[in-house]
Structure 1
């Protein structure tokens, strides 16, 4: 079969890049003619039996895809992509060509959360109904799609069990990476909003107190999220602010770009040195690092939500969710509970018998995810494509004309879009940087060291925070903030703000649920003051 696969390039150090590399190379070994349109590929070349093609002007390759469809005439297209990206890739022009040549479209998709009713946004469900074969990478994704009566295939990611394996002597493995005698907490997490690295640091800071042997190794590019247009977080500055400078390590030389990753064996050496792997993300569509940790015998800990739960249940640690909020799509996001995460870490640190049992169980769990059987399952799915009839609830699979799916903006009950800056993930993430109304002597510079793109403003409406620890702002500004639902740090409702206003403001900016509670508490205080 001639296959056109579209996703991260196989040499990009991401989960999608890893899956592209293993699945496409495996399918090529089984005799498939595999073309890969890699989003980070800049020039065409051969790699592991596949042909790599570059994107053009559009970052997801929609303009290049039209030409490749005409030139390569694939038997099937596989998109390894998030659901909302699909209309950007399969544009109406591409759709017409796909329909003309009857090329089936396979969507291999993550589901890293659901709406409060457990379902997908309606426009996402429409995307899944529009493709010929939706393939979920987690059982969680299958279950969420089923609530919308969308039957999907289940196909998990895999792991190289020969590379990610427990060491014969973990202490020697630690010494090999300069961590002899330490209790190693590894986190292989990209520096981006969903991974919630500020929460991860909060967990480790609480755990490390009184445990001098604890060290956190962050396998991430600390500069990945420092100055991006939609994400501004200085990870190094936050580490320093929390007093963790001597307790947190970064992978030397790692960069989040094509060719900037470690070799598989160098990466596996970090996993073999780890006692645990900690993921504090807001939700996962799969969580490849969690599986890699299990394969290496590093006990995985992750939130008891989304696909993470199925990758830690029974052998790792499912961390309770401490706070919930909804993102701009109406998807529930779960912030791990700091105290519960510390409890799980402490048990593994203090009880080595329990750690050894969990480590062995984790490795046994990972055996079911070897790449060989997973690639063969892909071979079977693709072979069955020509015989696939209409999916349940559809009259036909192949449409007679082009289909356009329009993604909508989720809104709050009062009509405000969920992209309102007050409700974006406060790291901050969104179309514009966070804005703060600050008192004359508020230490905004300390906040800006953590969030470099943070701006000050005189406009309360639409601000992310009113930051006035010394109570210097006029009473009408404070009242306007309460009425506008803007969280307030400072003054009478929060006496503790005078002690460490920056720490409290940081928590408000990274935790939308806390921001909401803070705003509600401020409003209640103002109403009581007015009533008095």
Structure 2
């Protein structure tokens, strides 16, 4: 059960590649595909629609299991997406049918102690088999007292392979004679596309010798409460004429596979700026194509970059709605690596050869042999022994003690589990998004408001383009000579995504923003300066860099507390007085 293999998604690709090969090895397979509207066939595989809502999905799983009577239910998805399968009634139904639940899951971040949220550990503890796709995920799972098998994703190494003639491959796209940087990623908050643009704009490469092929959609549709970003508008603002590849379809995977392979063949390096990857198929596909992978040194990206590519250290971090640590790639160091590869073709060639050698160990046939071996070996273990924590896994008592300890230590601090990653009505609001919205962290409610930028009236025209870069954002003028009443002003500040007052014409507004935890841009002794050019670029920097905005707000708050102890009471009084004068 996962994304349908007929869908052009990472999980859909993995489902199709693994299942069709397992079928070739004699396994009988029924695929329950998310986002399938009707029964279908894929390379001889029978695909049945699977609802995305947790209750309906659970009912569908039990119904199909009763008819198909499988030895295994293998689920490919994030741990919290599948919490409903850990429910007692579902586990009991599967057990009565003799079906073992094998959860195949990514881990793209951990808690500060290197483990996973307690409710995720509880879900894992209910599965009969835990299989993770990265060494990073294996380590995080082990830290929680759960024993997991490591089986990575794979790659079609015959399809994704170095071209015989690199210049000919580039010529197909009009890129001959140019240094080609590829980023193959969907327009999603996790991918940090604004950070990728920040990196390439630092390069000292003649524009006629450089191409940044950003293979993505112009706008994304996921996580609308915390992500609304128009890539085309941002590229235009930054004046990056060497950026190509952005298309109107928000799903870049809709690109045909043959074209995608050709695109990888034309690239010199692949850049991935994500703040977390459960695996990272584009990084492996790049390596297999003889394209040097560059990624952030976080999660599974580090092991896939290895010594053949570059895992760029991260310079900032924060925690997300689950308490997971999210680390952000150092833009300066990433640009430095790209610059070095451009200036030294021999280094580029050596890394490309090493990348190809690395990828050969990840062929799909090699990966599926691991699955075949695991499933046939586990089939020998009676379900009574397999339920919960079997022999060969961490002792049940130790694991349950760990879970109780985690629940006790972190009670009240963890966000509720996501029953499914595909039903927006049950998702917690993501904190880290674009535009950066610190107010979502304060409110922690869904659909609280649209992104609101409050701009002092005389400068509002300078930041009006934010409405194009971040669709749905509203830039609202505030006149310092006629501020709203105290209650209205506080309400506006609490709702605001960013307050802009470069000349300090709104009396004490910087102080009020610091006390209320709202992001502020302007002339202030309280708030750290923003190192960018124009006012618009400074605002863009704050609205695309969560760690920066969060850090500035924290510093401003600390400065008020230490330098002006009474400011929390006086700030609102001063603003209210100014409004009446």
1:294/1:71 CA distance change after superposition, 3 Å: same
Matches of residues 126-141 of structure 1 in structure 2 within 5 Å? Answer: 126-141=122-137
Structure 2 residue corresponding to 1:471, chosen from 496, 504, 509: 504
Q: Work out whether 1:152 is the aligned partner of 2:171.
A: no
Indicate the SS of the match to 1:472.
coil
Structure 2 residue corresponding to 1:436, chosen from 449, 453, 477: 453
1:326/1:515 CA distance change after superposition, 3 Å: same
Q: Equivalent residue for 2:573? A: none
**Greater helix content:** 2
Q: Equivalent residue for 1:452? A: 471
Q: Equivalent residue for 2:297? A: 304
Structure 2 residue corresponding to 1:394, chosen from 393, 396, 409: 396
1:291/1:324 CA distance change after superposition, 3 Å: same
Structure 2 residue corresponding to 1:41, chosen from 33, 36, 43: 36
Q: Equivalent residue for 1:415? A: none
1:145/1:70 CA distance change after superposition, 3 Å: same
1:224/1:123 CA distance change after superposition, 3 Å: same
Matches of residues 98-247 of structure 1 in structure 2 within 5 Å? Answer: 98-207=94-203, 210-225=206-221, 228-244=224-240, 246-247=241-242
Q: Work out whether 1:344 is the aligned partner of 2:363.
A: no
| TM-fit CA distance, 1:334 | 1.1
Indicate the SS of the match to 1:33.
coil
| TM-fit CA distance, 1:469 | 2.4
Q: State how far apart, in whole Å, the 2-side matches of 1:18 and 1:37 are.
A: 14
| TM-fit CA distance, 1:91 | 5.2
Kept after mapping to 1: 8 A contact 2:213/2:244: yes
1:84/1:56 CA distance change after superposition, 3 Å: closer
| TM-fit CA distance, 1:470 | 3.4
| TM-fit CA distance, 1:368 | 0.5
| TM-fit CA distance, 1:481 | 1.1
Kept after mapping to 1: 8 A contact 2:5/2:12: yes
Kept after mapping to 2: 8 A contact 1:193/1:427: no
Matches of residues 477-496 of structure 1 in structure 2 within 5 Å? Answer: 477-493=509-525
| TM-fit CA distance, 1:357 | 0.3
Q: State how far apart, in whole Å, the 2-side matches of 1:156 and 1:420 are.
A: 30
Indicate the SS of the match to 1:77.
strand
Kept after mapping to 1: 8 A contact 2:106/2:134: yes
Q: State how far apart, in whole Å, the 1-side matches of 2:355 and 2:193 are.
A: 24
Deviates further, 305-314 or 435-444: 435-444
1:193/1:92 CA distance change after superposition, 3 Å: farther
Indicate the SS of the match to 1:207.
coil
Deviates further, 105-114 or 457-466: 457-466
| Structure with the greater alpha carbon radius of gyration | 2
| TM-fit CA distance, 1:502 | 2.4
| TM-fit CA distance, 1:284 | 0.9
| 1:226-274 superposed Cα distances (whole Å, 9 cap, x missing partner) | 8934421111111111111x211126575528xx623332211100100
Aligned-residue Cα RMSD (Å) equals: 3.0
Kept after mapping to 1: 8 A contact 2:308/2:355: yes
1:451/1:14 CA distance change after superposition, 3 Å: same
Kept after mapping to 2: 8 A contact 1:187/1:219: yes
Q: State how far apart, in whole Å, the 1-side matches of 2:531 and 2:192 are.
A: 23
Q: Equivalent residue for 1:248? A: 243
1:505/1:253 CA distance change after superposition, 3 Å: closer
| TM-fit CA distance, 1:221 | 2.0
Kept after mapping to 1: 8 A contact 2:227/2:434: no
Q: State how far apart, in whole Å, the 1-side matches of 2:120 and 2:81 are.
A: 10
Kept after mapping to 2: 8 A contact 1:232/1:428: no
Kept after mapping to 1: 8 A contact 2:226/2:434: no
Q: Work out whether 1:505 is the aligned partner of 2:507.
A: no
Structure 2 residue corresponding to 1:384, chosen from 377, 387, 397: 377
Q: Equivalent residue for 2:13? A: 18
Q: State how far apart, in whole Å, the 1-side matches of 2:513 and 2:372 are.
A: 58
Q: State how far apart, in whole Å, the 1-side matches of 2:222 and 2:141 are.
A: 35
Indicate the SS of the match to 1:37.
strand
| 1:164-197 superposed Cα distances (whole Å, 9 cap, x missing partner) | 0001110100001222221110011111111111
Deviates further, 504-513 or 520-529: 520-529
| TM-fit CA distance, 1:52 | 0.7
| TM-fit CA distance, 1:384 | 2.1
Q: State how far apart, in whole Å, the 2-side matches of 1:171 and 1:396 are.
A: 58
Q: Work out whether 1:70 is the aligned partner of 2:66.
A: yes
1:71/1:474 CA distance change after superposition, 3 Å: farther
| TM-fit CA distance, 1:30 | 1.0
Q: State how far apart, in whole Å, the 1-side matches of 2:98 and 2:280 are.
A: 34
Q: State how far apart, in whole Å, the 2-side matches of 1:194 and 1:204 are.
A: 18
Would you say how many aligned residue pairs link Structure 1 and Structure 2?
A: 509
Kept after mapping to 1: 8 A contact 2:270/2:293: yes
Structure 1 residue runs without a partner (length 5+): 1-5, 398-404, 413-417
Structure 2 residue corresponding to 1:53, chosen from 48, 55, 69: 48
TM-score, structure 2 normalization: 0.81
